[in-house]
Amino acid sequence: MKCMSRLLAIVQKEVRQLSRDRLTFGMIAGIPLIQIMLFGYAINTDVRHLRAGVADLANSSLSRQLVADTQASQVIDIVSYVNSPEALESQLRDGKIAIGLYIPADFDRRVQRPSRTAAQILVDGSDPVLYGAARQLTALDVRFDTQPHQTKAAAIYEVRNHYNPERRSAVNVVPALIGVILTMTMVLFTAVAIVRERERGNLEMLITTPIRTVELMVGKIIPYIVIGLIQVTLIMLLGVLIFRVPVAGSILQIYIAALIFIGANLTLGLVISTLAKSQFQAMQMTFFFFLPSILLSGFMFPFDGMPKPAQYIAELLPLTHFVRLIRGVVLRGADVFHLGTDIGALFLFAAIMLTIAVKRFHKRLD
The model's pTM: 0.82
Q: b/e for 197-231, b at 16 or more Cβ within 10 A?
A: bbeeeebeeeeeeeeeeeebbeebbeebeeebeeb
Along the 366 residues of the chain, how does pLDDT read in single tens digits?
667 776 676 667 666 765 666 656 566 666 666 666 666 666 666 778 889 999 999 998 888 888 998 998 888 899 999 999 999 999 998 889 999 999 999 888 888 776 678 899 999 888 888 888 888 888 777 777 655 445 444 468 888 888 888 888 888 889 999 999 999 899 988 888 777 777 776 666 666 667 777 777 777 788 889 999 999 999 999 999 999 999 998 999 999 999 999 999 999 998 998 888 888 888 888 888 888 888 888 888 888 878 888 889 899 999 999 999 999 999 998 888 888 899 999 999 999 998 888 888 765 445
Q: Where are the domains of the chain?
A: 50-162, 169-360
Topology of the domain covering 50-162: abc type-2 transporter like fold (3.40.1710)
The separation between CA 168 and the C-alpha centre of its own chain, rounded to angstroms, equals 19
Distance CA 303, CA 314 (A): 9
DSSP β-ladder status, 157-162 and 99-103: unpaired
